[in-house]
């Protein structure tokens, strides 16, 4: 696969606030890339710079190897599905979709057949003459898609396109989007603050916070090997606990030593203070005294398929979050163990942007 879009050192300020702090990003042809991050981290701004609605203060944007930093939005070979759809209210569905074709002075015959094809792609055959305010949220979303793809852009930018839909519809649309992308064979750059959406659909996830890219990689990499507490915390529930390397590939947490798979080679020499991530589903429950450490269950919650439990470690200060399919009672003393490859060692945060989100209760 070849590189299609590259951002180099993009810096953007609004008034005096830094919104993007030097973004480097490479998007390959046909990739489904997701920008993931909390509200206000600069996702939309990044997308608007790619679309051409915002000029970066520093840095360059390349498309197919060509510098397009100063190319106006209406000349860029990208189209956008806006967060609120931005459908033209005084035009019917057909006219909305035909807009970009009309701009290009296509013949009426061609316009009609291409609009029809686009509507078929989004499963809304025969909707040409509907008015925009007669459509449901999900239908508007599909029309926005149809309008953006009818002109066959090489890249589709999508800004939280499912944000306004309810959970069920959102999950349906996730499949639709992936199907559409495969049928069209074009590149998707997708924005969301929903980690599940990002992990299910993307080839590559880019986690952002406070105008920095925290980590990029495949969904698997992001989930299994978060590089810092922020990413670990943002991608699903985790135990993030302080620890210290005590030997090559041995980390001490809460007074207990655990074998792990990181050492000097990975940048964690003995005596280094670190953060450790252990996913709640990676902690196995064993009979009391048979595991690596022991604890008492202090609360239990049934959430659908599995139980979520909070376990207070014995003579330690750490509360562990566990997920398990088996039922255990509150107050029960249990043993716990974790495989070395499920212990993810991370550097201590260097800045606020890299630390986990504090939630005050």
Ligand X SMILES: Nc1ncnc2c1ncn2[C@@H]1O[C@H](COP(=O)(O)OP(=O)(O)OP(=O)(O)O)[C@@H](O)[C@H]1O
The site for Mg ion (CB under 5 A) is made up of: 44
Residue 14 interaction partner, one of ligand X, other proteins, Mg ion, none, beta carbon < 5-8 Å per kind: ligand X
Q: Is 174 exposed, middle or buried (0-12, 13-18, 19+ CB in 10 A)?
A: middle
* Token couple for 158: 């999508």
Residue placing its CB nearer to ligand X in the complex, 140 or 192: 192
CA distance 222 to 228: 10
Instruction: Give me the least distance between CB of 157 and Mg ion, in Å please.
Output: 12
Residue placing its CB nearer to Mg ion in the complex, 163 or 259: 163
Residue placing its CB nearer to ligand X in the complex, 23 or 245: 23
Q: For residue 32, what are the β-bridge partners?
A: 188
Determine if 40 is a binding residue for ligand X (CB under 6 A): yes
Contact 7, 59 (CB under 8 A): yes
Restricted to residues 42-71, the positions that interact with other proteins (CB under 8 A) are 51, 53
Determine if 142 is a binding residue for ligand X (CB under 6 A): no
Restricted to residues 134-173, the positions that interact with other proteins (CB under 8 A) are 147-148, 151
Contact 198, 36 (CB under 8 A): yes
Using CB under 6 A, pick the residue from 2, 39, 107, 327 that binds ligand X: 39
Determine if 228 is a binding residue for ligand X (CB under 6 A): no
CA distance 114 to 328: 59
Cα–Cα distances (Å) from 173 to 141, 146, 188, 351, in that order, read: 9, 14, 15, 37
Q: For residue 296, what are the β-bridge partners?
A: 312, 333
* Token couple for 219: 């969904």
From the list 41-49, 131-139, 286-294, 328-336, the region that binds ligand X by CB under 6 A is 41-49
Residue placing its CB nearer to other proteins in the complex, 104 or 179: 104
Residue placing its CB nearer to ligand X in the complex, 248 or 352: 352
What's the maximum distance between 2 C-alpha atoms anywhere in the chain? Answer: 78
Q: Is 147 exposed, middle or buried (0-12, 13-18, 19+ CB in 10 A)?
A: buried
Using CB under 6 A, pick the residue from 19, 49, 198, 253 that binds ligand X: 19
CA distance 219 to 251: 26
* Token couple for 257: 């030593």
Q: Is 325 exposed, middle or buried (0-12, 13-18, 19+ CB in 10 A)?
A: exposed
Instruction: Give me the least distance between CB of 218 and other proteins, in Å please.
Output: 29
Instruction: Give me the least distance between CB of 84 and Mg ion, in Å please.
Output: 11
Determine if 14 is a binding residue for ligand X (CB under 6 A): yes
Residue placing its CB nearer to other proteins in the complex, 153 or 219: 153
Residue 72 interaction partner, one of other proteins, Mg ion, ligand X, none, beta carbon < 5-8 Å per kind: other proteins
Restricted to residues 282-311, the positions that interact with other proteins (CB under 8 A) are none
CA distance 78 to 105: 19
Instruction: Give me the least distance between CB of 231 and ligand X, in Å please.
Output: 16
Determine if 104 is a binding residue for other proteins (CB under 8 A): yes
* Token couple for 151: 């002109």
Binding site for ligand X (CB under 6 A): 14, 19, 37, 39-45, 193
Binding site for other proteins (CB under 8 A): 51, 53, 72-75, 78-80, 82, 84, 86, 88-90, 99-100, 103-104, 133, 147-148, 151
């Amino acid at each position: 696969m070849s590189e299609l879009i590259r951002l180099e050192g993009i810096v953007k300020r609004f008034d005096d606030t830094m919104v993007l702090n030097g973004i480097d990003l490479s998007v390959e042809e046909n990739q489904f890339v997701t920008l993931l991050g909390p509200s206000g981290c600069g996702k939309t701004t990044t997308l608007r710079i790619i679309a051409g609605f915002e000029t970066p203060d520093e840095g360059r944007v390349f498309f197919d190897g060509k510098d397009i930093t100063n190319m106006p939005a209406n000349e860029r070979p990208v189209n956008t599905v806006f967060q609120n759809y931005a459908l033209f209210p005084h035009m019917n569905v057909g006219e909305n979709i035909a807009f970009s074709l009309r701009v290009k002075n296509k013949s009426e015959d061609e316009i009609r057949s291409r609009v029809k094809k686009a509507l078929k792609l989004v499963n809304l055959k025969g909707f040409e003459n509907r008015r925009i305010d007669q459509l449901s949220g999900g239908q508007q979303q599909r029309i926005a898609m149809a309008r953006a793809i009818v002109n066959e852009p090489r890249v589709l930018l999508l800004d939280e396109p499912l944000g306004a839909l309810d959970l069920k519809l959102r999950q349906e649309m996730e499949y639709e989007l992936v199907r559409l992308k495969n049928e069209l064979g074009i590149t998707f750059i997708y924005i969301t603050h929903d980690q599940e959406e990002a992990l299910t659909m993307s080839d590559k996830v880019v986690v952002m916070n406070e105008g920095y890219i925290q980590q990029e990689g495949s969904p698997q990499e992001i989930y299994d090997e978060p590089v810092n507490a922020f990413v670990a915390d943002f991608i699903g529930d985790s135990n993030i606990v302080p620890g210290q390397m005590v030997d090559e590939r041995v980390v001490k947490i809460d007074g207990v030593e655990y074998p792990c798979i990181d050492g000097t080679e990975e940048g964690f020499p003995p005596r280094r203070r670190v953060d450790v991530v252990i996913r709640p589903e990676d902690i196995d429950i064993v009979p009391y005294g048979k595991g690596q450490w022991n604890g008492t269950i202090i609360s239990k919650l049934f959430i659908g398929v599995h139980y979520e439990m909070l376990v207070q470690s014995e003579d330690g200060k750490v509360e562990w979050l566990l997920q398990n399919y088996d039922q255990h009672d509150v107050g029960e003393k249990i043993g716990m163990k974790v495989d070395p490859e499920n212990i993810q060692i991370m550097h201590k945060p260097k800045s606020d942007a890299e630390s986990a989100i504090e939630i005050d209760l």
